[in-house]
């Protein structure tokens, strides 16, 4: 699977600053969320607010980042390896130059769940 992801990735750097992608992203039910942040000039994420375990995000392509782990890396964290390469891709949704959300295919029965950037959710309720 690592080879599959590597074949699809591009070598250039993101066109936007990494800080463009930072924030808290939540699903509609507000029961799944992800923190995206910059640490030591690297984009990282943590899931469900547990930032004791963070994952480096590597640029994959336009507004897409990968968090693929090696077999040993997953084993060290006590995580099962998901066989689907899409599971390890975060596809950021962009409107103009503003990131509004991301899609993550964490469930094999969904095409990808939209997690909306929290500041966007807050703005939806401001009149």
Task: Report pLDDT digits (tens) over 7-29.
Answer: 555 667 888 899 999 999 998 88
Helices (H), the chain: 2-8, 71-77, 118-124
What would the mean pLDDT of 55-83 be, rounded to a whole number? 72
Domain definitions of the chain by residue range: 2-124
**Would you state the pLDDT for residue 58?**
92
| 116 sits in which H/E element | strand 113-117
Task: Report pLDDT digits (tens) over 82-124.
Answer: 566 788 899 999 998 899 999 988 877 878 899 999 875 444 4
Q: Is the pLDDT of residue 39 over 70?
A: yes
Instruction: Please tell me the distance from the alpha carbon of residue 23 to that of residue 90, in angstroms, as a whole number.
Output: 14
Q: Is 37 helix (H, G, I), strand (E, B) or coil?
A: strand
Q: Is the pLDDT of residue 68 over 50?
A: yes
Q: Which CATH class is domain 2-124?
A: mainly beta
Q: What is the C-alpha end-to-end distance of the chain, expressed in Å?
A: 47
């Amino acid at each position: 699977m690592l080879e599959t992801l590597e074949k699809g990735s591009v070598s250039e750097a993101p066109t936007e600053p990494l800080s463009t992608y930072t924030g808290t992203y939540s699903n509609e039910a507000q029961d799944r969320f992800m923190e995206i942040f910059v640490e030591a000039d690297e984009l990282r994420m943590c899931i469900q607010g547990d930032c004791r375990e963070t994952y480096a995000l590597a640029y994959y392509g336009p507004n897409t980042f990968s968090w693929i782990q090696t077999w040993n890396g997953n084993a060290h964290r006590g995580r099962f390896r998901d066989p689907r390469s899409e599971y390890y891709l975060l596809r950021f949704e962009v409107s103009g130059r503003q990131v509004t959300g991301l899609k993550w295919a964490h469930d094999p029965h969904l095409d990808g769940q939209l997690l909306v950037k929290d500041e966007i959710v807050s703005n939806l309720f401001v009149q």
